[in-house]
Amino acid sequence: MIEIIIIVLLIFMLIGSIICLETKDLLSSIISITSVGYFGSVIFLLIGAPDIAITQMVVEVLSLIILIRATIRMDLTTIEEDRDFFGLIGTLALIFVFFILGMEAIRYLPKFGTPSFTLNLQAPSNRYLMNGLKETGAVNIVTSIILDYRGYDTLGEATILFTSILGALAILRVYARKRKEK
Amino acid sequence: MIYYLCFVLFLIGLYGVTCKKNIVKIILGLCIMEYSVNLFLILLGYRKNGIPPIINKGMEINEFYNKAVDPLPQALVLTSIVIGLGILSLMVAIAIRLYQRYGTFDITEMKKLKG
């Protein structure tokens, strides 16, 4: 039952992403990519990942604001798409080869519904699930992983976020260039 | 079936990155690829009739162990989503700067970028 719901939502995501890439107006393409993200958030909620669903929701709203800031002042929102024919054919052939290889690779994955930590007893998820409450005191195992077992990852994540926002501010500022012109 | 649909979503993002001329469309294609990869990693950890990895009150630890979905991909994808927001803001900043420099979003018009 839940697989059918996931498949329907994934088909909606595919339709939304095709509309996003093929429409002429940039504002409507940004809104349709946000709808793709919200469908993804619903899927996360259905398959037992409420933390990811909440985070995805917040990130969607923030990225919608950022992308609208990028396009709202720009008067030229449509671009004539006359691509050279052979380049397009070559790229589509490359994507098709990639498609075939990916189809082969997916056949070797475990079936949907049996995660790999149940097949391999050495996997770290077993320990996190069995001893997570005893060792860290957190009821939510995801929280105990990101803040306790793998706290250095979270530190690195905060560093990357800080660095990227510093980079964006350094690119966008106009202050230094004015001083150089004097 | 679900994995295949996820992979097709990734390929649509790849098509957007490689075939589009508008730089905003390229950024959106990268966003679609990111969504599909995150979704694929979470779907790998799904267990049939599984519950979220949160221990309810009065639940036996063995019963929880036999029913919960995989918590490790969820923790790593949480990091990945937040990093995706940072990457997006950096790309949008570069796109705004290029628009101010060249007056267009079309990547074929940006002649001085050619090496």
Collect all residues of chain A within an 8 Å Cβ-Cβ radius of residue B27: 67
> What's the confidence (pLDDT) of residue A80?
60
What one-character-per-residue DSSP string does B14-27 give?
Answer: HHHHHH--BHHHHH
Instruction: Spell out the domain ranges in chain A.
Output: 1-74
Structural domain range at position B7 = 2-113
Distance from the Cα of A107 to chain B's closest Cα (Å) equals 10
The answer to whether the CB atoms of B48 and A10 lie below 8 A apart is no
> Which residue's structure tokens are 């995501």?
A13
Q: What is the pLDDT of residues A64-96, one digit of tens each?
A: 998 888 777 666 556 666 667 777 888 888 889
Say which of B16, B48, B52 has its CB closest to residue A49. Answer: B52
Collect all residues of chain B within an 8 Å Cβ-Cβ radius of residue A74: 99, 105
> What's the confidence (pLDDT) of residue A39?
92
Name every residue whose Cβ is closer than 8 Å to that of residue A114 and which is 6 or more positions away in sequence: B47, B48
In this complex, is the C-beta atom of B26 within 8 Å of any C-beta atom belonging to chain A?
no
pLDDT band at residue A110, thresholds of 50, 70 and 90?
Answer: confident
Instruction: Report d(CA B45, CA B71) in Å as an integer.
Output: 8
Count of beta carbons in the 10 Å neighbourhood of residue A182: 4
- At B90, which CATH number? 1.10.287.3510
Say which of B2, B15, B71 has its CB closest to residue A128. Answer: B71
Total structural domains in chain B? 1
Name every residue whose Cβ is closer than 8 Å to that of residue A8 and which is 6 or more positions away in sequence: none
Rounded to two decimals, the ipTM of the complex is 0.87
Collect all residues of chain B within an 8 Å Cβ-Cβ radius of residue A53: none
Instruction: Point out which residues pair with A172 in neighbouring strands.
Output: none
Can you tell me the mean pLDDT for B41-58? 85
Q: What is the pLDDT of residues B11-32, one digit of tens each?
A: 999 988 888 888 888 999 999 9
Q: What is the pLDDT of residues A4-42, one digit of tens each?
A: 999 999 999 999 999 998 888 888 888 999 999 999 999
Q: What is the pLDDT of residues B52-97, one digit of tens each?
A: 888 888 888 888 888 888 888 899 899 999 999 999 999 999 888 8
Exposed (0-12), middle (13-18) or buried (19+): which is A3, by Cβ within 10 Å? middle
Question: Helix A124-136 to helix B71-102 angle, to the nearest 10 degrees?
Answer: 100
The answer to whether the CB atoms of A55 and B44 lie below 8 A apart is no
Q: What is the pLDDT of residues A132-178, one digit of tens each?
A: 888 888 888 888 888 888 888 889 999 999 999 899 888 888 765 55
Instruction: Report d(CA A100, CA B83) in Å as an integer.
Output: 30
> What's the confidence (pLDDT) of residue A127?
85
Please answer whether residues A68 and B88 qualify as being in contact, where contact means their C-beta atoms are separated by less than 8 angstroms. no
Nearest chain A residue to B58, by CA: A139
Instruction: Report d(CA A2, CA A46) in Å as an integer.
Output: 8
Residue B94 to residues A30, A58, A160, Cα–Cα distance (Å): 17, 23, 17
3-state secondary structure of A94: helix
Collect all residues of chain A within an 8 Å Cβ-Cβ radius of residue B29: 21
3-state secondary structure of B54: strand
